[in-house]
Structure 1
Amino acid sequence: MIIPQTAGQRLRWTATDAWVLTVRTLTHWKRQPGMIVAGLIFPIVSVVLFGYVFGSAMAVPGGGDYREFLLPGMFGQTMVFGIATTMTAVLNDKSKGVSNRFRAMPMSRSGVVVGRSLADILNSTLELIVLIGCGLVVGWQWRGGFGDVLVAVVLLLWLRFAVVWLGIYIGLVLPSPEAGGLVWGLLFPVTMLASTFVAPTLMPGWLGAIAEWNPLSATVGAARYLFGNPGLTGDSWAAQHPVLLAVLWPAVLIAIFLPLSVRRYRRISG
C-alpha cells in the first residue's frame, strides 16, 4: 500500500477509514438492536418515575408544568451518558483484540477514533428522536418556533459529540471493561448535580453554584429556553447565558479530548 504523503491525501485517507469504521459500528448495532433499546430504557423509566410519581411534589421556579421542565433535562442527561456507552465499546474492542487487528492493518490512526465518534452521533440522533417522541406522549411540548427547536436539538447533539471524545479517551486509558464500572457510577452524581431534575436556585447556595456551571446545566438551560419550557431562573452569569455556554463548554471538551484521544490511540498503536 502507498502511504499518503501530502496533507490532502492524509485527510482523504482518514475520512475513508473513518467512514468504514462508522459503517462497521452501525452494522453491529443493527444486528444487536437490544443495545439501543437498553440505552433508552433508563431515560424512559426516569420520565415516568419523576414526571408522574414525584412530579406532583416538585416545584418549578416561576411556575409551570414539571414535565415540561423535566424533559429537556432528560434529553441532556441521555446525551451525557454517551460517555459510558462509547467508553464501553472502546474497552470491549480492546479486550477482544479488535484494536490489535486494526493496528496490524494499513489504517489511519485518526480514522479509527473519528469513525467511532461519527457512529455514536448517528445513534444519538436516533435516541434523541425517540425520546422527543416519548416526551410528546407524556404531555411535554415545545412552545418555540421550528428554528428554535432545531437549534436546541443541535446543541444537545453538540454536547453528545463532545462527551463521546471523553468516553473514547477514558476507554483507551482504562485497562479492562471491569474498570469501566466506576465511570458508570460517577455519571449519576455528575448528571444529578445539574439542572436536570431540580433548578439550582432551589439547592443550597454552594451546591447551586456548582450545578449552574455544570456543562450539562448549560445545554439543558439552553434547551429549555429554545423549547420555551419553564425553569429559567437565577441571577448568575451562567444562568443568564445558557446558549452561549452550551456552545462553549462542548467546544472546550472537544479541544481537550479529541487530540488526547488521537494521541493516545497512536501511542498504543506503536
Structure 2
Amino acid sequence: MGTSGTFEGSKSGLLPSWVDEPASSPIAPPDGAGDVPPDGGTDDDGGAAPTPAPPTAYPPMPAVPASSGLGGARGNMTRGARTSDAKAIRRGAGRYVSASGGGRAAARRMPNSRAVAGGIAELARSFASQGPAEALRRFDLDGMAGAPAEDVFVALTDMLCPPGGTIDEAIARDAMLEAVADLAAAGVGSFDELSADDLRELFIGVVSRSIEGKILNEVGTNALSVPADIAGVERAQNMLRDFVEGCVRDEFEARGSELDDLDGNVIDRFVEDLYAAALDLVMVLGDDR
C-alpha cells in the first residue's frame, strides 16, 4: 500500500491469510492396511502367502472450504478496479464484511490491529493527562522526549508491532507506518508539541489503514492488480481508502468522546466497538444502491 510520506511500511507485503495456516497432517492408514508377512512372501507354515487383499480405500481428503461470499466481494472489487467505479469498490468492501459475519466478527479477526490502535489511544490519554514525557515513559521511550514526532512513532511501531511475524501483525505494522507517514507529510514538529487533533488523526489513520489493509489482503490483492496502468491501481486503492476512512471517522465522531477523555480501563472496549461499528457501516453503505 502506498503512502504519501517517507515511510514505506513493511517490506513483507500482504499475503493471503491462509499462508500462515499449518499444513494438514497426513491421514494415517487404517490399522492393518498394507500388512505383509514378515518374511516377505510366505506364511507361518512356509507355504505361499495368500493373495493380498485389494488396497483399502482411504477416506477422502477434506475439501478446501469455499470462501463463502468472498466471490461476490472479489468480483465487485475487480470491476471497480477495472472501471474506476467507486460504487463497485464500496460494494466489494461491504460484501467482505458481510461474508466475515458482520462488523463484530470481522473486528475480532484483527487482534493485532486493535492492539496497535489501543496503544495509540493510551498514548493520547497519557499525553493529555500526564504530559509527553510520562506518556513516553509508559512505553519505555522516555529518552525520546523532544524528538521529532515521526521518529517517536516509528520507535513506537517497533515496540507495538515489530517486523516479522504473522500476516495480521504485518497489516497492523503497515497501517501504523502509513499513518505516521501521513502525519510527517502534514509537517508536524517535535513529539512534545503534538496537539490532541494530531493524535486523533493518527489514531483514525491507524484504524482506517488497518481495515483497508485487511480488505486488500483477503479480497483485493489480485483484484487491484488488474488495471493495466499503475494509476488505475492507485485510483482504486484511494477509493477504498476514502470510503473506509469516512466510515471510521463518522463512527468515531458519533461516540462524542475524545481519546484524552477515555478511562484507561475502557480503551480496549472502545477500540473494539469502534472497529465493529466502522465495519458494520462499511457493510451497510457498501450495499447502498
Q: Same fold by TM-score, threshold 0.5 exceeded?
A: no
Structure with more of its chain in helix, by fraction: 1
TM interval, shorter chain, is 0.3 to 0.5
- With normalisation by structure 2, the TM-score equals 0.33
TM-score with structure 1 setting the length:
0.34
Bigger RCO (CA 8 Å, 6+ sep)? 2
Rg: which structure is higher? 2
